[in-house]
């Protein structure tokens, strides 16, 4: 039977529960255990797919086409696993499932209540992520303890602990220890109050992870105080987790605090000490001084850095592979429209146009793409960024005045991006969108084929519109090559401008499959071109 670690958070949001959970997972994997993860989000939306990136950051997509919380991306990058539909559940999904069962008569006329029906459904979903050979399931409950939205999830895990036994389920609570500048003192009352709120609900945490700013020390006296007032077994169950110089350093800091050792002790998991030697080498490589290169991400949600978190991380991974330090500049495409690409993009070594939806800022992205192509600056287009590349080439090289996507301008004479007639298959996976992993064949002699080093790939999608094949011959004669094709559906997956040193754009999202120790080929090729 799988053992469970339930991660909760208190005091404030954005404490880093996801990074804490992912780091613990990495330590357990390096002890030889098989780990799976799950994120439970209390909001009523069925998934984050319809939410603005300003609300919830990027939407991460799994191989099976599930639109998930961005923390799933952290889990995949840290643990080197492939998550699935069972790894992210919201209140909306839980209630949708319950209502569907009720309408089908599965409850035999009973009154449907939060307890037991909602809590039972949540427990079923928690159990669904495990498998017979999974040793540990780490479950992160989103939000902050005390939020009314999360009460059903907390009640469910309270019941689950009774059902599986305390030796099979552990509660880990993340709380803030603020430093008051005026008093020159770290305050523990916030964590104490957060734990009291949790115990009022019926959950006694086994481990308390205390978040602080970097440079703040937690003394043994403070750990003893927290242990006593939070009813922990011993002061060693109080773990200090300060801000790190980079995200990937967190597992090493938590190992130093003994987190994985205490977890294994309480869950009675007999394993050798985690071998983190390769991870340490990677972190040392990340933090060491390297030549810097500046890369611009031209998007429309730049006020929210989390909207492009996978893109930013993928660029850093590629920098690591190419032994350079990538400095990312987030540039709003609306500002490019108003101030010009020459003004805002001067001096950058590469330009990335990421995914997005809607018409705002589109012309600024097209200008950024034009600036990259005309000045032979390495360009990487991702999803919408591929469509932008096609539109820009049509307008400025093929002289198709007003060329556009039918999504942006349904009346355009040159609908170089459109919904293809044979796209009825998209209902299989994503309703009106192509979601999840699809195969692609790479054309020999292209930059995409050179980057991947293979002819067959599978990548993750999240989009509606496609390259319009009726214009394909014109584009290829003018120098924009379709270098990646989904042969089954006859859809263009990658385009590149053959005359430029690196002007490659993919209809899929390669950023969803990049890892710190295994950079994605397209990002690596892009950064190599920037470096050269």
Which residues are identified as catalytic?
A: 383, 509, 511
Report the distance separating Cα 522 and Cα 508, nearest Å. Answer: 11
With beta carbons less than 8 A apart as the criterion, state whether 232 and 188 touch.
no
Name the residue among 438, 493, 426 with its Cα closest to residue 464. 426
With beta carbons less than 8 A apart as the criterion, state whether 405 and 463 touch.
no
Two structure tokens written together for 515: 């890892």
Place of tokens 């001067």: 346
Please report the beta strands in 33-122, taking only residues with DSSP state E, as ranges in sequence order: 35-41, 60-61, 67-68, 88-90
Taking each helix axis as running N to C, give the angle between helix 17-29 and helix 71-79, from 0 to 180 degrees, rounded to the nearest 10: 20
| Structural element, H or E, at residue 380 | strand 379-382
State the first-to-last Cα distance of the chain, in angstroms, to the nearest integer: 52
Place of tokens 């050269």: 532
Report the distance separating Cα 382 and Cα 310, nearest Å. Answer: 12
Report the distance separating Cα 437 and Cα 434, nearest Å. Answer: 9
Nearest-5° Cα angle at 28, 40 to 220: 90
**Residue 158, SS3?**
helix
| Structural element, H or E, at residue 284 | helix 277-287
Report the distance separating Cα 343 and Cα 261, nearest Å. Answer: 53
């Amino acid at each position: 039977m799988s053992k469970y670690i339930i991660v909760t958070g208190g005091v404030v949001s954005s404490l880093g529960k996801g990074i804490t959970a992912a780091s613990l997972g990495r330590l357990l994997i390096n002890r030889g255990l098989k780990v799976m993860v799950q994120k439970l989000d209390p909001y009523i939306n069925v998934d984050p797919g319809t939410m603005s990136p300003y609300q919830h950051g990027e939407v991460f997509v799994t191989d099976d086409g599930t639109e998930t919380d961005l923390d799933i991306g952290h889990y995949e990058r840290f643990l080197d696993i492939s998550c699935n539909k069972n790894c992210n559940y919201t209140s909306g999904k839980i209630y949708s499932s319950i209502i569907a069962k009720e309408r089908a008569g599965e409850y035999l006329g009973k009154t449907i209540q939060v307890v037991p029906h909602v809590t039972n459904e949540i427990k079923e979903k928690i159990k669904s992520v495990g498998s017979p050979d999974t040793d540990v399931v780490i479950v992160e409950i989103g939000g902050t303890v005390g939020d009314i939205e999360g009460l059903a999830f907390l009640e469910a895990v309270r019941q689950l602990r009774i059902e599986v036994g305390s030796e099979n389920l552990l509660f880990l609570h993340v709380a803030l220890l603020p430093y008051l500048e005026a008093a020159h003192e770290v305050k523990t009352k916030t964590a104490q109050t957060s734990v009291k709120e949790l115990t009022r609900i019926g959950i006694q945490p086994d481990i308390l992870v205390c978040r602080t700013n970097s440079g703040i020390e937690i003394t043994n006296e403070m750990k003893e105080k927290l242990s006593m007032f939070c009813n922990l077994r011993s002061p060693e169950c109080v773990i200090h987790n300060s801000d790190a110089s980079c995200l990937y350093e967190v597992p090493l800091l938590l190992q130093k605090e003994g987190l994985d050792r205490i977890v294994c002790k309480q869950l009675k998991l007999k394993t050798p000490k985690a071998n983190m030697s390769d991870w340490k080498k990677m972190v040392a490589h990340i933090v060491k001084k390297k030549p810097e290169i500046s890369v611009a991400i031209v998007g429309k949600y730049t006020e929210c850095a989390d909207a492009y978190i996978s893109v930013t991380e993928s660029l850093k991974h590629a920098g690591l592979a190419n032994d350079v330090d990538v400095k990312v500049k987030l540039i709003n495409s609306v500002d490019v429209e108003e101030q010009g690409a020459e003004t805002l993009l001067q001096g950058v070594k590469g330009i990335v146009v990421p995914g997005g939806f809607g018409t705002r800022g589109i012309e600024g992205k097209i200008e950024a793409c034009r600036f990259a192509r005309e000045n032979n600056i390495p360009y990487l287009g991702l999803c919408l960024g591929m469509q932008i590349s096609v539109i820009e080439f049509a307008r400025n090289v093929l002289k198709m005045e007003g060329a556009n996507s039918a999504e942006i301008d349904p009346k355009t004479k040159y609908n170089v991006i459109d919904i293809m007639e044979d796209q009825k298959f998209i209902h299989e996976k994503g309703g009106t969108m192509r979601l999840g992993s699809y195969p692609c064949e790479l054309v020999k002699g292209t930059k995409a084929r050179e980057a991947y080093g293979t002819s067959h790939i599978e990548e993750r999608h999240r989009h509606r519109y496609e390259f319009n094949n009726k214009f394909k011959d014109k584009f290829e004669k003018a120098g924009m090559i379709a270098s990646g094709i989904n042969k089954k559906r006859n859809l263009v997956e990658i385009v590149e401008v053959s005359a430029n040193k690196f002007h490659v754009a993919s209809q899929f999202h390669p950023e969803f499959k990049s890892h710190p120790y295994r950079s994605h080929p397209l990002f690596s090729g892009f950064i190599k071109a920037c470096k050269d």
